[in-house]
Amino acid sequence: MRKGIFIIAIMLMSISIMGQQQERNISIIPEPVSLLKKGGHFVLPDEVVISTPFAQGTYINSLLVEKLSTAPAKEVKLSSSAANAHIELLLNKITDKEIGREGYRLDVTPQKVVIKANEPAGLLYGVQTFFQLLPPQIESDKKKENVSWQIPVVEITDYPRVEWRGLMLDVSRHFFTVDEVKQFIDNMVRYKYNIFHWHLTDDEGWRIEIKSLPKLTQVGAWRTEQIGWFGSLSDPDPDAPKNYGGFYTQDEIGEVIAYAMERNVQVMPEIDVPGHSSAALAAYPELACFPESGDHFVRTGAPFLDWNTGGRPAAIYENTLCPANENVYEFMDKVITEVAALFPFEYIHTGGDEAPYTFWEKSPDIKKLMAREGIKDMAGVQSYFGKRVEQIILSKGKKMMGWDEILEGGITPTTALMSWRGIEHGIEASNSGHYVVMSPTNYVYIDYMQGDLSTEPRVYSSLRLNQTYQFDPIPEGANAKYILGGQANLWTEQIYNIRQVEYMVWPRGFAVAESLWSPKEKKDWNRFASKAEDHFARFDYARIKYSPAIYDPIVKVAKEGEKLMVTLTTEIEGLDIYASFDASTPDNFYPVYKEPLQVPKDAYVMRIITYRDGKPVGRLMSISAEELMKRAR
């Protein structure tokens, strides 16, 4: 009898420990506004009945059926009745003011899961949170055996901190197919992003069909393919085939917009002018200040701008539309007319960044324009151009947004700003009554390296995950009334395929999502880092690529007299660092790193790796002594 009681006690203790472990591993990104853990679990039955207010074939219904019938291999039935339902989706008849349009309440009992919201968007986000409560195998596209398909009993109240939660994808520098763009949007939705900023035109390609201007895609969408360090490629042979590129037909644009809107994602197009216009000038050189130069072609990645100016670049070749040319405004009217008809979103982004003044300053027509309009400088010329383009946009029933350079010559009250050169321009604009999206390079430019140069494709700057996590879309000093929200930007000069897109976005996309959705006071770096690791497991099952850079040490080099000293730190806790200077591969039998290391006089390479609990977790880093010396300088 005593033996039986002992066995029962052990079993109860094991069940209790399993329950506690399950609760400890609740890892929702972005962190909800409120989460109350209770005892017990809800277990998915073999036949799952879902009560839904939506018609058959609606995206939320299809998503639930697909997820629950794939990896868990459950039979899923949809019903309009809540009777006997295991998962109940409810649209509130009386508006719940606390949660707003995109918020939700998710209540889990041992018997059922109930998700309530004011609008379908909230139910969608509640469903995404529900999936994150399930084991990570839910992300697999294959049946998974021996998984306990249960979630903890919880009460969650959740709603976003800011309205604008964006990700930008540059498809000009490198082209991505419709299916790849849809894949990008699907991954956004997992983490409650709701704005897809589609950077459609630039020097390296024009990607949107404009039927009244067919050369934009016949000529401007194609260039010679070159692979290497984008920005320092060799000039292509003039006779080389223009075999790289692509564009989206207007039907394909509509397809992507519809796909996104089903997922509560608005699509904002960007037509980047007056700079970044080489592809447009290749198609229509008469839009340049110097149309007869013969230098107008779609750029390939060879240098055409001089960035050694300490500020605005100087142009080696002309890449700007000519503000003194009336044909330019006829061109813009045709483009904006078709773009406005395609995109339901209220804003059209017109760029305005990094426009070189080099060829404007040389142009007799620009001088005449300045004299006629009383314009004092080149910033005023760009402002003149921007204001005329804005009038075109307003005439189509849309509003204009641009990068923060457009502030320099003055903007009209209806223009919105995307602040990328730090936060100061956004603060200034918000305090002068302009709507702002915060998008500063030092927090959310996710094309930057996220780890050491020895492990990453070379980019001119770095942005570690812990720095991204510090992003605050409503910085001190800003007028919060005019801050729409924030956005991360992925420029694709060094990104040649969709797998590298994923690698660059995640996990920094987790950090931005939490900064935009979650209450500021709920953010906690150590907690977030642990959650990010749990989501790595989800991505492994989903076969989504991500960067493991959080496991790689941060390397700092300094000279102390004649000594070259290397200091190693980690972004996350619990890692042991091992290093060698003798060209061997270090492991956890080497001395653990404890203090800065002196580089031996004749060493030619340093190798570094991190371990956790006796197993390697970081990538093997190899840094030459020559490179270490450069970093010290």
Please say if the pLDDT value at position 133 is more than 70: yes
At 254 the pLDDT is 98
Neighbours of 447 (CB within 10 A): 25
Q: What is the DSSP string of 392-403?
A: HHHHTT-EEEEE
Q: Calculate what percentage of the chain has a pLDDT beyond 70.
A: 96
Higher-pLDDT residue of 556 and 15 is: 556
Task: Please write the tens of the pLDDT for every residue from 420-429.
Answer: 999 999 999 9
Task: Please write the tens of the pLDDT for every residue from 30-84.
Answer: 999 999 999 999 999 999 999 999 998 899 999 999 999 999 999 999 998 988 9
Task: Please write the tens of the pLDDT for every residue from 205-252.
Answer: 999 999 999 999 999 999 999 999 888 899 888 889 999 999 999 999
Q: How far is CA 164 from CA 192, 220, 466, 475, 538, in A?
A: 11, 31, 22, 15, 26
Task: Please write the tens of the pLDDT for every residue from 82-122.
Answer: 889 999 999 999 999 999 999 999 999 999 999 999 999 99
Residue 34 carries which side chain, given as an amino acid letter? S
Rg of the chain's alpha carbons, rounded to an integer?
Answer: 27
At 47 the pLDDT is 97
d(CA 577, CA 588): 8
Task: Please write the tens of the pLDDT for every residue from 13-28.
Answer: 444 434 433 444 899 9
472 Cβ partners below 8 Å, 6+ apart?
515, 520
Catalytic (active-site) positions: 202, 276, 354
Task: Please write the tens of the pLDDT for every residue from 472-492.
Answer: 999 999 999 999 999 999 999
pLDDT class of 591 with cuts at 50, 70, 90: very high
Task: Please write the tens of the pLDDT for every residue from 530-540.
Answer: 999 999 999 99
Closest alpha carbon to 167 in 516, 466, 546? 516
Packing angle of the helix pair 326-342, 250-262 (nearest 10 deg) = 50
pLDDT class of 388 with cuts at 50, 70, 90: very high
At 17 the pLDDT is 38
H helices of 220-284, where? 250-262, 278-283
DSSP class of residue 166? E
Do 447 and 456 meet the contact criterion of CB atoms below 8 Å apart? no
d(CA 218, CA 410): 36
At 371 the pLDDT is 98
Please say if the pLDDT value at position 446 is more than 70: yes
At 407 the pLDDT is 87
* Average confidence (pLDDT) over 324-345: 98
At 633 the pLDDT is 75
Please say if the pLDDT value at position 583 is more than 50: yes
Residue spans per domain, the chain: 2-158, 164-542, 552-632
Q: Which CATH architecture has domain 552-632?
A: Sandwich (2.60)
Structure tokens at 270: 């960007």
Q: Which fold has domain 2-158?
A: Chitobiase; domain 2 (3.30.379)
d(CA 280, CA 217): 9
Residue 157 carries which side chain, given as an amino acid letter? T
pLDDT class of 414 with cuts at 50, 70, 90: confident
Among 8-12, 161-165, 225-229, top mean pLDDT goes to 161-165
Please say if the pLDDT value at position 174 is more than 90: yes
At 117 the pLDDT is 98
d(CA 345, CA 400): 11
At 8 the pLDDT is 43
Q: Is 94 helix (H, G, I), strand (E, B) or coil?
A: coil
* Average confidence (pLDDT) over 255-259: 98
Q: Which CATH architecture has domain 164-542?
A: Alpha-Beta Barrel (3.20)
- Pair type for strands 150-158 and 34-43: antiparallel
At 18 the pLDDT is 41
At 7 the pLDDT is 43
Do 540 and 599 meet the contact criterion of CB atoms below 8 Å apart? no
At 474 the pLDDT is 98
Please say if the pLDDT value at position 162 is more than 90: yes
Q: CA 289 from chain center: how many Å? A: 36
Q: Which residues of 40-72 are buried (b: 16+ CB within 10 A; e: fewer)?
A: ebbebeeebbbbbebeeeebbbebbbebbebbb
At 506 the pLDDT is 98
Residue 57 φ then ψ, to 5°: 90, -10
Q: Which regions of 80-188 does DSSP assign to beta strands (E)?
A: 87-91, 104-108, 113-117, 150-158, 164-170
At 157 the pLDDT is 98
